[in-house]
Amino acid sequence: MIKAKELRVGNFVQFGNDTEWHEVEAISLSQNIDKPDLIHLTGNGITNRDEQIFGIPITEEWLLKFDFEKDKEKGRHGYRYSIGHQDFRYVMSKDWREETTHHFGIWYTDSPRKSDLTEVFGFTDQVQFVHQLQNLFFALTREELIISEK
Q: For residues 84 and 135, give the distance between their C-alpha atoms in angstroms, rounded to a whole number.
A: 16
**Local confidence pLDDT in tens for the 150 residues of the chain:** 888 889 999 999 999 888 889 999 988 888 877 777 888 898 877 787 777 899 999 888 999 999 998 887 666 656 778 887 766 777 777 665 556 556 777 766 555 665 555 555 566 667 889 999 999 889 988 999 989 876
Q: Are 44 and 22 in contact (CB under 8 A)?
A: yes
Question: Which ranges of 3-129 would DSSP assign to H, the alpha helix?
Answer: 60-65
Predicted confidence at residue 125, as pLDDT, reads 66
Q: Exposed, middle or buried: residue 95 (CB in 10 Å: 0-12, 13-18, 19+)? A: middle
CA distance 65 to 86: 20
> DSSP letter at 130?
H
Q: What pLDDT score was predicted for residue 95? A: 60
What is the Cα–Cα distance from 4 to 148, expressed in whole angstroms? 26
Give 3-state DSSP helix, strand, coil % of the chain, rounded to 5: 20, 35, 50
Q: Give the Cα separation of 147 and 150 in Å (integer).
A: 9
pLDDT at residue 55, as a whole number: 93
Per-residue model confidence (pLDDT) at position 62:
92
At residue 134, the pLDDT reads 95
Rounded to two decimals, the pTM is 0.81
Q: Are 14 and 139 in contact (CB under 8 A)?
A: no
Helix (H) or strand (E) holding 135: helix 130-141
Q: What is the pLDDT of residue 94?
A: 65
- The pLDDT score that the predictor gives to residue 104 is 75
CA atoms 65, 67, 71, 76: torsion sign: negative
Q: What is the pLDDT of residue 118?
A: 55
- Residue 140 has a pLDDT of 86
Residues 55, 50: Cα–Cα separation, whole Å: 11
